[in-house]
Structure 1
Amino acid sequence: MTPTEQVAGPTAGRTATPPLPVKLVVAGGFGVGKTTAVGAVSEIEPLTTEAPITEVAAGVDDLTHTPAKTTTTVAMDFGCITIDPTLKLYLFGTPGQERFGFMWDDIVAGAVGALVVVDTRRLDDCYAAVDYFEHRGIPFAVAVNAFHGRVEHGLDEVRWALDVSDGVPVLVFDARDRGSVRDALLAVLEVALARQEAR
């Protein structure tokens, strides 16, 4: 039955209520898997603003752990996923480089929470994202991307290194796997809901 079809019984003559739109942000450092995650989970062809990495940019951005990376996000990524008939997530991925940080306020406006994607081989790249959401009181979860199926540090070590509270979920996920990304996004929703209920 489509949302515009009438429902029999007491609700005859009415149409189904469209799902509630919820905005989430996918953030993190350069090359940690943000664009991959949005693309893996989105039910539409994701909008990306990928541009080739030039020789000048390669001299600025650390490609040590991502030598095959040839493009980078210069504005944002966008995708969406319907969780159930009542809830639809709209995903906005931020650019990872510090020089594009001026865009973050506009991208994050109206978001109920964020997923901070982490590469444990270079944890320092995600400090800025963690600080951003902490200072603005935006609920977030930390998702450690399992590059090549492994992570360099345990979750307790990651939590300690990032100095995030016990109330912040820290989990391992695979940015290429739709179900894994969906579960990470649901963790963000849970912490955002808990924050709302606490108020």
Structure 2
Amino acid sequence: EETMTQAGVGVDDNAGVESKTATTVAMDFGRISLSEELILYLFGTPGQERFWFLWNGLFEGALGAVVLIDTRRLQVSFDVIGRLEERGVPFVVAVNTFPGAPHHPVEALRRALDLPDEVPMIDCDARLRASSRDVLMTLMRYLHSLAVPLT
């Protein structure tokens, strides 16, 4: 996160979050060792259109994705969800709770995002470690449910 400046005017769309003072300027990376053999690699990509070129490389080999939505700017989630659906990448939707952000019933959000019933949705506060863990666990359970048993 970096301070928003005049250079971002016309580049960053801050509609709905006019008081926002910082913006993402790069991709995040994390690694979680679940065991010696099982390692979870996490790539966080900004949602702004100028970063879409990063997504194609991440889709290759991705087992799944988390779409973190902001109810103040729901419309910016449409392109992300559409691109994941086009590429066949399973995903879960995490509704990031912000102080003062509108709260909507899950079914209303599901309809607005045109999500099938099987796509999990979970409330989260991305600033909290336990909440972020719960989102990742939801993704892992969803991916497990999609796995075809080996015969």
Q: TM-score, normalised by structure 2?
A: 0.86
How far residue 85 of structure 1 moved from its aligned partner, in angstroms, is 6.0
Q: Equivalent of 1:94, from 28, 41, 45?
A: 45
Secondary structure of residue in 2 paired with 1:175:
coil
How far residue 66 of structure 1 moved from its aligned partner, in angstroms, is 5.5
**1:185 lines up with 2:136 in the alignment:** yes
Equivalent residue pairs, number: 149
2:73 is aligned to: 122
Contact 1:141 1:187 in 2 (8 A): yes
Q: Deviations over 1:112-143 (max 9, x none)?
A: 00000000111101111111111111110000
**Identity rate, percent:** 44
Q: TM-score, normalised by structure 1?
A: 0.67
Secondary structure of residue in 2 paired with 1:197:
coil
**1:113 lines up with 2:64 in the alignment:** yes
Kindly indicate whether structure 1 or structure 2 has the higher relative contact order, using CA contacts under 8 Å at least 6 residues apart.
1
Q: Equivalent of 2:13, from 62, 77, 83?
A: 62
Q: Deviations over 1:29-77 (max 9, x none)?
A: xxxxxxxxxxxxxxxxxxxxx5553313133323341624323233x11
Structure 1's unaligned 5+ residue stretches are 1-49
Structure 2's unaligned 5+ residue stretches are none
- Larger Cα-atom Rg: 1
Stretch deviating more after TM superposition (103-112 or 81-90):
81-90
Stretch deviating more after TM superposition (186-195 or 109-118):
186-195
Q: Please, what is the CA RMSD of the aligned residues?
A: 2.3
Q: 1:141 to 1:156 in 2, by over 3 A?
A: same
Question: Partners of 1:107 and 1:84 in 2: how far apart?
Answer: 23
Q: Deviations over 1:123-182 (max 9, x none)?
A: 101111111111111110000001017642111111111111111001101101111111
Question: Partners of 1:121 and 1:84 in 2: how far apart?
Answer: 38
Contact 1:116 1:140 in 2 (8 A): yes
**1:132 lines up with 2:92 in the alignment:** no
Stretch deviating more after TM superposition (159-168 or 51-60):
51-60
Question: Partners of 1:107 and 1:146 in 2: how far apart?
Answer: 26
Contact 1:115 1:142 in 2 (8 A): yes
Contact 2:59 2:87 in 1 (8 A): no
